[in-house]
A and B are shown apart, each in its own frame.
Chain A
Amino acid sequence: MRKKECIALILAGGQGSRLGVLTKKVAKPAVNFGGKYRIIDFPLSNCTNSNIDTVGVLTQYQPLELNSYIGSGQPWDLDRSFGGVYLLPPYMKAEAGTWYKGTANAIYQNMNFIQMFNPDYVLILSGDHIYKMNYAKMVDFHIENNADATISCIKVPWDQASRFGIMKTDKTLRITEFFEKPKNPVSNMASMGVYVFKWEVLKEYLIKDEEDPRSSNDFGKNVIPTMLHDGKRMFAYNFKGYWKDVGTVYSLWEANMELLHKKPGMNLFDRSWRIYSKNAIQPPHYTADGAVIKDSMITEGSVIYGKVKNSVISSGVKIGKNTVIEDSVLFPSVVVEDNCVIKKAIIGERSVVRQNSRIGVEDMIEGQIPSKMCSDGIVLIGSDIVVKSGSDIAKNVMVE
């Protein structure tokens, strides 16, 4: 029987509600990032670059755009005759069908898919982080330790540790304790939500977990603690490098801004570890006479007449004359007309800002609190919005 040594499954079903209007129409992994990417390009490209050629993408919430984006998997070289990329939404089975109840249940519902490849190891990934990682090295580490499960972890600041799954290990890096989102963390070694399992062992625990009516069918809350309790060989794999959870509006904005550093943690120019994305079929960008662009990233199809400072400009964006864009992230096909000022904003796909508008310049006037708000001074404008000419949108406003 043909088999694959290791296959990957990406959990891409999260609603991403903390991203506000950005996930109104698309799933979180399909949210734009860095001018020409979407968040899911990072785990998908990591798989390709790690020689993992079979990837299941588990979708659930607002899957349309994500499905059409991934398509046959050709941009990531994942159009294969044996293996390749598979989209795995929940589906009706002979007796019943249900939504994915939790991360573990999502994998449980796709056991037949995994079995098709009869793998020795299964790599579980999440679709909402920006990072470059060689999964092959982690699988090697897993094999060397004869582990049942390996959890990739990264040191996080102590004050953030309670947001993560936190683990303690012995000297050999074998995990001795694991706490999901602890109130009083005992260490700052946080799980990245990247797991390698022996498939035979995982299968057993997924079935057991499904039979337990009290379980919330989640890896961090249920499966990992149960395995640890049963004395399974579980190891922590130390990841060093840039890793960013972009689950909030602020962290998404911040991760984009970090690309503009002189030596960014996420180096997109590294030709030995390219991040692939679907081609937008756009001409080169055009910078007009009179445009001023500093410390910014500009990609294909954009036409710049105004001033752009410290910003990420996606494909097909038009920026008019005498317009100033600062500390902002403009998603694909945004149009900003002449004489506008935009500061510290994220503007969703295809939105249009008509002339003489000011966004993120003034503080909010007391007593005029909008129904939806952002934090940290960021203005968030959803996709397909038209901002009328002469508008003044204050800091922290969310427009949908």
Chain B
Amino acid sequence: MKDALGIIFAEGTDTGFGSLTSKRSLAAVPIASRYRIIDFILSSMVNSGITNVGIITQRNYKSLMDHVGTGKEWDLNRKIGGLLLIPPTPSRDIIGSDKVDLLDLAGALGFLERSPQKYVVLSKSHLICNLNFTDAFEKHVNSNAIVTILYQELEPEGEISGLKNRYFLTTDENDKITQIKAYSSTNESNKISLDIYIINKDFLIYLIRDGLASGERGSLSEVFARRVEHMKMIGYVARDFVARIDSIKTFYQANMVILQKEIREKLFFEPGRIYTKVKDEAPSKYMKSAVVKNSLIADGCVIDGYVENSIIFRGVKVVKGARVTNSIIMQGSEIQENATLEHVILDKEVIIRQDIRLTGQKSYLVLIDKGAIV
């Protein structure tokens, strides 16, 4: 895939994530005990052989910058290609859209033009997945398509919430896309777009330039929908596990689903490994009174309390007598004696004082801000 570059659109979020994204972009939200959301799509690109990746940022990109750094954890600290952070388009009046708008891509024009690759793999950051794009890329090149859209097939009886604003594809027997349509109650297709695209670079540059000149606006899905009848766009079905994070609820579910063996083994090991920033923590220590069930625990923790069905990040302390169930405890937090947490998300460096009791519901999680002392 040497002939493809990657673009990750680190989408903004106006609502849906509360304080989790008040000081960081969604791409930089901690997930799965030691990762940030962007690690999964970025590692997928790197494992597919892409060595030139641009990340288009929106507002609040400080912690994202801090996380990816020079890209060395992804082997992207290169003289040729490597990692480039692209600041938001200055002329943009609303920074913070979760749609990949043509105007947001304008900031990447220089990067696109300068890069020697002929194809672009473009995705938002919010997918928890471990994908290899090689096969889709080969199909794209061999079929002379201009755009390839990766999609998944919905189960007939599957959940239908969260489909608003999603796009569905209709394809013919040769995988050529005949229609791209936003979800509606009369939706007939089960092919839901992952908003991951393989695009001929010259076409993408043309779209951005044309959009700037003519004033055409809209997300890439909308832009492609307008042109699908006249151009060769093909669909590619991804059968791997993909969790999409668009709310606190889906964020919580994506963490919890990783506790399942089959998903964990695929997500972290196949087809490649997931890379993240290294923190050099010591191994975690289990003390005398530790009781841990069905939980994912990162390094640097000291566990002497009760932990069940939970996601524990690096450097967390759960002292004797504390109880944590069905919760997500982010880096450096401390749960003191006889505190009880249930269905709670603690942001980084929270201290829960002794005897405190916080109880949320599966459908309504308690979220505690970074650095809070409860």
Binding site for B on A (CB under 8 A): 34-36, 74-75, 260, 262, 268-269, 274-277, 279, 281-300, 308, 312-313
Min C-beta distance of B79 to chain A, whole Å: 14
The interface stretch among B166-174, B228-236, B270-278 is: B270-278
Min C-beta distance of A322 to chain B, whole Å: 16
Tell me the B46-85 residues at the A interface (CB within 8 Å).
72-73
The interface stretch among B1-9, B175-183, B292-300, B362-370 is: B292-300
A293 touching B286, Cβ below 8 Å: yes
**Bound state CA distance, A313 and B275, in angstroms?**
22
A287 touching B298, Cβ below 8 Å: no
B282 touching A269, Cβ below 8 Å: yes
Contacts of A291 in B (CB 8 A): 292-293
Subset of 29 A-B contacts with CB under 8 Å: A34-B282, A75-B280, A260-B285, A268-B282, A269-B285, A269-B302, A275-B280, A282-B268, A283-B264, A284-B33, A284-B34, A284-B296, A284-B297, A284-B312, A285-B296, A286-B259, A287-B293, A287-B295, A288-B293, A289-B293, A289-B294, A291-B292, A294-B288, A295-B287, A296-B285, A296-B286, A297-B284, A298-B297, A299-B299
**Bound state CA distance, A276 and B278, in angstroms?**
10
- The closest CB in chain A to the CB of B292 belongs to A287
Chain A CB within 8 A of B245 CB: no
Choose one: A74, A260, A289; the contact of B72 (CB below 8 Å): A74
Contacts of A283 in B (CB 8 A): 32-34, 264, 268, 274, 296
**Bound state CA distance, A275 and B281, in angstroms?**
8
Min C-beta distance of B130 to chain A, whole Å: 11
Min C-beta distance of B291 to chain A, whole Å: 8
Binding site for A on B (CB under 8 A): 32-34, 72-73, 259, 264, 268, 273-275, 278, 280, 282-288, 290-300, 302, 312
Contacts of B280 in A (CB 8 A): 75, 274-277
Min C-beta distance of B114 to chain A, whole Å: 26
**Bound state CA distance, A308 and B284, in angstroms?**
13
Contacts of A312 in B (CB 8 A): 283
B273 touching A281, Cβ below 8 Å: yes
Contacts of A296 in B (CB 8 A): 285-286
Give the interface centre of A276, A285, A289 by most chain B CB atoms within 10 Å.
Answer: A285
A275 touching B286, Cβ below 8 Å: no
Min C-beta distance of A43 to chain B, whole Å: 16
Main secondary structure of the interface of B (DSSP, over half): loop
- The closest CB in chain A to the CB of B293 belongs to A289
Min C-beta distance of A102 to chain B, whole Å: 35
**Bound state CA distance, A295 and B283, in angstroms?**
12
Contacts of A298 in B (CB 8 A): 283-284, 286, 297
Contacts A283-B296, A293-B286 known; 7 new A-B pairs at CB < 8 A: A281-B275, A283-B33, A285-B297, A293-B290, A295-B286, A297-B286, A298-B297
Contacts of A288 in B (CB 8 A): 293-294
B286 touching A294, Cβ below 8 Å: yes
Contacts of A282 in B (CB 8 A): 268
- The closest CB in chain A to the CB of B268 belongs to A283
- The closest CB in chain B to the CB of A296 belongs to B286
Choose one: A275, A286, A313; the contact of B264 (CB below 8 Å): A286
Min C-beta distance of A42 to chain B, whole Å: 13
**Bound state CA distance, A196 and B285, in angstroms?**
36
Closest 8 CB pairs of A and B: A268-B282, A299-B283, A284-B33, A35-B283, A283-B268, A297-B283, A284-B298, A293-B286
**Bound state CA distance, A274 and B32, in angstroms?**
24
Known A-B contacts A294-B288, A295-B288; the reply to A268 vs B283 at CB < 8 A is: yes
Contacts of A297 in B (CB 8 A): 282-286
Min C-beta distance of A88 to chain B, whole Å: 25
**Bound state CA distance, A287 and B303, in angstroms?**
12
Contacts of A293 in B (CB 8 A): 286, 290, 292
Contacts of B288 in A (CB 8 A): 294-295
Give the interface centre of B274, B287, B295, B297 by most chain A CB atoms within 10 Å.
Answer: B297
**Bound state CA distance, A289 and B273, in angstroms?**
25
- The closest CB in chain A to the CB of B73 belongs to A279
**Bound state CA distance, A33 and B302, in angstroms?**
19
Contacts of A269 in B (CB 8 A): 282, 285, 300, 302
Min C-beta distance of A47 to chain B, whole Å: 15
A36 touching B283, Cβ below 8 Å: yes
Contacts of B34 in A (CB 8 A): 283-284, 300
Give the interface centre of B73, B291, B299 by most chain A CB atoms within 10 Å.
Answer: B299
Give the interface centre of A34, A276, A279, A308 by most chain B CB atoms within 10 Å.
Answer: A279
Give the interface centre of B275, B278, B288 by most chain A CB atoms within 10 Å.
Answer: B278
**Bound state CA distance, A277 and B285, in angstroms?**
18
